């Protein structure tokens, strides 16, 4: 699914009820980011893009109905994918021509213990990725299969500006 000019298929799961567009601060820049959330507004997956298009509008909440599961479609065309386990989520960084293009964060990881074997089996089963061992975990097979995900946008609302995004002097006046 393309939303505001970006392919966000990878963040869509059957549990997704909302997709929120927001700005993600990274390396001193505000980058476009899309977050999928369940009915309780818990974050499921997030994708951040390293390029900002003029068609991107932050702080919109889209109510969606999803059939199917998005896998790696948003990282199609990447030469290299680096995979890192960070706390309770897995982060996949997609590189094209040596430059970081997209970061996919997966929060709906079902494993309770974090052994390398469990992570490998989860990535192989959910995303079809085989891993190459080394200092940085990289994906070996970058053969993407077109994901069959059907999405219907039900409603569009404005999303309130998060408190962390407000200027410091304004938040000081609020409290």
Please list, in sequence order, all residues whose beta carbon lies within 8 angstroms of the beta carbon of residue 75, skipping any fewer than 6 positions away: 10, 81, 92, 94, 102, 104, 144
Give dist(CA 41, CA 72) in Å, integer: 23
* Domain locations in the chain as residue ranges: 2-174
pLDDT grade for 4, boundaries at 50, 70 and 90: very high
- Nearest alpha carbon to residue 110 among 128, 89, 131, 91: 89
Start-end of H helices in the chain: 116-127, 168-174
pLDDT grade for 70, boundaries at 50, 70 and 90: confident
Distances (CA, A) of 144 to 72, 73, 77, 150, 168: 7, 7, 9, 18, 44
Flag whether pLDDT at 61 surpasses 60: yes
pLDDT grade for 34, boundaries at 50, 70 and 90: very high
Give dist(CA 129, CA 172) in Å, integer: 46
pLDDT digits (tens, 9 = 90+) for 126-171: 777 776 665 456 665 555 556 678 888 888 888 775 545 544 443 3
Which SS3 state, helix, strand or coil, does residue 73 take? helix
């Amino acid at each position: 699914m393309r939303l505001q000019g970006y392919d966000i298929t990878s963040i869509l799961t059957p549990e997704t009820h909302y997709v929120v567009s927001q700005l993600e601060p990274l390396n001193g820049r505000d980058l476009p980011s899309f977050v999928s959330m369940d009915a309780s507004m818990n974050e499921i997956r997030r994708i951040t893009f390293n390029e900002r298009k003029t068609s991107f509008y932050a702080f919109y909440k889209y109510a969606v109905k999803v059939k199917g599961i998005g896998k790696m479609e948003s990282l199609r065309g990447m030469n290299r994918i680096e995979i890192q386990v960070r706390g309770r989520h897995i982060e996949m960084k997609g590189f094209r021509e040596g430059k970081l293009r997209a970061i996919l964060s997966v929060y709906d990881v079902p494993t309770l213990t974090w052994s390398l074997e469990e992570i490998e089996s989860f990535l192989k089963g959910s995303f079809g990725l085989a891993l190459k061992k080394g200092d940085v975990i990289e994906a070996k097979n970058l053969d993407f299969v077109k994901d069959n995900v059907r999405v219907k946008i039900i409603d569009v609302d404005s999303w309130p500006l998060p408190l962390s995004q407000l200027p410091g002097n304004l938040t000081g006046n609020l409290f």
